[in-house]
Chain A
C-alpha cells in the first residue's frame, strides 16, 4: 500500500503497436505491474505526438493513426521502483522510461478494512492537548477560521480535532461574544481542542499561528487512553503510538 510522503513517479512512453512477445507492449507492462502488486498504474492513449522516429502520429488523419503514443504512469516507493526497473528496462524495446521524484499527499481508499469487530484494544500514552480560542466570526482567506484550521490539521495528519462553540465569553479582544437577536448574527467564542504527540502539535502550532490574527492557544500535558478496534490496524497503530505517529485512520 502506498504511503504518504516522498515516492517515485514512473512514466513510460511506448508506441501503441509495439509488440512484446504476442501481446502489445503497453498491455504487457500493465499486466506485469499488476502482478507485481503495484498500487496503481494508468495507461493513456495520446491525441497526437512524435518520438524518437520523428514521425508525427495523430488521430486527425486516418493514415497517421497508427503508432499513437501510449503513456503508462505509476507511483511507488523508491525501493519498489528499483525492484521493478530491471524488468521494465528489459521490456521497453522502443520508447522512453522516465522517473521523477514526487510527493504523495493523500492516499484515500474508500474500501476500508471491515469496521469494528472483537474486543477493543486499549493504548495509553503521554500526549499533548492544545486548545485554540478564537471568535466564530474570525476568517481566513474567505472561510471561517475554525474550519480552515480543522482542514489544515487534517492535511497534517493530526489525530483529531473538535470544535466547540461557547454560549458566552470575553477575552483577548476585550468585547463580549454573545449571540445576537437574530440566529445569523453570530460572534460567539469558538474553541478547538486537539490531542496528539508533542512533536506533531509543535508542527501544527506553527501553521496555526500563521493563520490566526488574534486569539490564544493553550497547551497542556495529558495522558491519552485510546480505544482501537481489532484487526491489522491495531498492530500498526500500537507501533506508531509509541513513536508518536498516530494515524488518523485508526481513530
Chain B
C-alpha cells in the first residue's frame, strides 16, 4: 500500500542535558507525541553543536550535553496540536517546521521482494 499526501515536518533542537519532570526531555517529548497520537517521532543525537547561549554542546566525561534533534512528520493539524504542548515543555531550544510530501510504504508481510 502506498499513500502520498502533503504533510509537515517538525524539528525540535535542544540539548541532551535538558530534562522535563526528571526524565530526559527527548523521552518526555516522544511520550507526549504518542499520547497525542502523532504518527511518529525520531530522536537523533548530534556530535557537537551550539545554540542560543553560544555554549558548545558536546560529550563531556560525566555530563552528556550533545545536541538533540527530534523530527516529527504529520499533518499540519496534528502538528498544530503538538507544537503548543512541546513549547511548554522546552526551556530553551528551537522549533522549525517545513512543508513536505509524505509517502507511506506498507507492504504485506512475506512479500517476495524481501
Contact = CB atoms under 8 A, between A and B. Distances in A.
Q: Do A and B come from one complex?
A: yes
Interface string B28-48: 001001100001111111000
A220 B105 contact: no
Interface in B1-55: 2, 7, 9, 26-27, 30, 33-34, 39-45
A182 interface: no
Interface string B80-114: 00000000000000000011111111110101011
Given A210-B113, A218-B7, A220-B99, A172 B30 contact: no
A220 B100 contact: yes
**Residue from A176, A189, A213 having most chain B Cβ neighbours under 10 A:** A213
Nearest to A173: B40
A50 interface: no
B103 A218 contact: yes
A171 B40 contact: yes
Contact of A220 (B2, B9, B30, B34): B9
Given A211-B113, A213-B111, A218-B73, A166 B103 contact: no
A209 B44 contact: no
Nearest to B66: A167
Contact of A170 (B41, B106, B109): B41
Given A172-B39, A213-B107, 15 more contacts: A165-B44, A166-B43, A167-B26, A168-B26, A168-B27, A172-B40, A172-B104, A176-B30, A191-B42, A191-B71, A209-B2, A215-B105, A218-B7, A218-B102, A220-B99
Interface of A: 131, 133, 139-141, 164-172, 176-177, 189, 191, 205, 209-221
